[in-house]
Chains A and B, each alone.
Chain A
Amino acid sequence: MSGAYAGALLFAVLALPPMRSALERVMIAHTLVQIPLLAVAGAFAAAALPAPVKARIAAWNKGGVAGTLLALIASSWWMVPRALDLALAAPLMEVTKFATLPLLVGAPIALSWRELGGIGRGFVIANVLPMWAVVGWLYAAAPVRVCNYYLVEEQVTAGVGLLAASVALAVAAGLRSFRTVAPRPG
């Protein structure tokens, strides 16, 4: 159950008004710290669900397919510049962000990742990371300011940050997969 506490604690810390305003004041902190951590909080909580509940969900999520699709669609929305602006401008959208990232991104990933299997995971990683890299590149290279609430310099920083994070994750995933397929001694 400690995972549930960790998830709840992380969520509570992120929801503290001073923490919220500190992270949302800077675009890269909003996009690359707050949003991923909200998903992580949901993942911790979901991993700690009791086994019968997990089994009931798994009956609708064979191979992790439905959960992965859910997480992909919901996470894509929060990469749209307008969504970031709306979260800052409209309290209802901010609440939606705090609800959907744990429940519709983090939790389904936690409940689906193992189910996906090696090929499924590889497929997701190989599709998502280039997409993130392209989104980051677009943010960095766009000739216009795409968010009303962030300065154009911040947009470039956030874009480069997302690009760098995608490359780093790709390298990590690559190293890991080569280590896995390398012939084992004996």
Chain B
Amino acid sequence: MRDVPWLRTAAASLVVCVAGGALFWYGSDGFRALTTEQARRRAIAHSPRVLPVVALEDQDGRPFTLGDYRGRPVAVDFVYTQCQSICPLLSAGFQRLDRAERSRPAGRQLQLVSISFDPRDTPARLREYASHYDADGRAWRFARVRDTRDLAALLGAFGITVISNGRGDFQHNAAVHVVDGHGRLARVLDMGAPPAEVARAVATNARREPRVSSR
């Protein structure tokens, strides 16, 4: 019976490795999502998210919701006008998208909406910021929530986490969010994704959405 402890130990080790490996696999989407951002993108690509109806207003104070775009895909990003770090890069990426869309021979396919989560951003500030990036305020709008109490729901639906550094600046997920013609958040792409990549994501998503959800 001398070997029994080794057999037991081998059995215990096997259980530990199999169970531990399985839990690790489950917790990291098969070792493919080691960050929350990766997990968010995979979950959205796998099953597009229905977004809540949140009242927004644009840089000219016009009220609208993302639901108004039904039938037309929209690229959405989240910024704030006083941002010095990542938002200028996001906005430069959107500017590139906007230019590509304007010069599309078959006409514009993609609408752009940049949403500020900073309560300090008034429509006037958004208007000024929009002019820096040559946004026309129609096909590319800058917006904020009309009621700040809706902000958490909107950010939550998109999976955006905003944290303050305590000095008036924020850090937040920086990405291009493709909302499909059914008003669902369908894909999340890297900040600064080239226009061709965004167009491809919109096209592949349009092909796989034959069933119109009634919601």
Contact = CB atoms under 8 A, between A and B. Distances in A.
Interface of A: 58-63, 65-66, 69-70, 73-74, 76-77, 80-83, 85-86, 89, 144-152
B171 A80 contact: no
Given A80-B27, A146-B37, 8 more contacts: A62-B5, A62-B8, A65-B9, A70-B20, A76-B24, A82-B36, A89-B36, A144-B35
B39 A66 contact: no
Interface string B16-39: 110011011001100001111111
Contact of A148 (B4, B20, B34, B161): B161
A58 B37 CA distance: 41
B8 A60 contact: yes
16 contacts: A62-B8, A70-B16, A70-B20, A73-B17, A73-B24, A80-B34, A81-B36, A82-B27, A82-B34, A82-B36, A83-B27, A89-B36, A146-B37, A147-B35, A148-B173, A151-B165
Given A69-B16, A73-B16, A73-B21, A86 B171 contact: no
B13 interface: yes
Interface residues of B, number: 28
Interface of B: 4-6, 8-9, 11-13, 16-17, 20-21, 23-24, 27-28, 33-39, 161, 163, 165, 171, 173
A85 B161 CA distance: 10
B17 A69 contact: yes
Contacts of B171: 145, 151-152
A21 to B, nearest CB: 14
A181 B76 CA distance: 64
A83 B36 CA distance: 8
B12 A61 contact: yes
Contacts of A66: 9, 12-13, 16
Is chain A's interface secondary structure helix, strand, loop, or mixed overall?
Answer: helix
B178 to A, nearest CB: 20
A89 B165 CA distance: 18
Given A59-B8, A65-B13, A82 B20 contact: no
Given A63-B9, A73-B16, A82 B35 contact: yes
Contacts of A89: 36
Counting from the closest, the 8 A-B pairs by CB-CB distance are: A73-B20, A66-B12, A148-B161, A62-B5, A62-B9, A85-B36, A60-B12, A66-B13
Given A73-B24, A77-B27, A81-B36, A149 B163 contact: yes
B39 A149 contact: no
Contacts of B4: 59
A147 B36 CA distance: 7
Contacts of B16: 66, 69-70, 73
A115 to B, nearest CB: 10
A138 to B, nearest CB: 10
Nearest to B173: A148
A147 B173 CA distance: 10
Nearest to A63: B9
Contacts of B11: 60
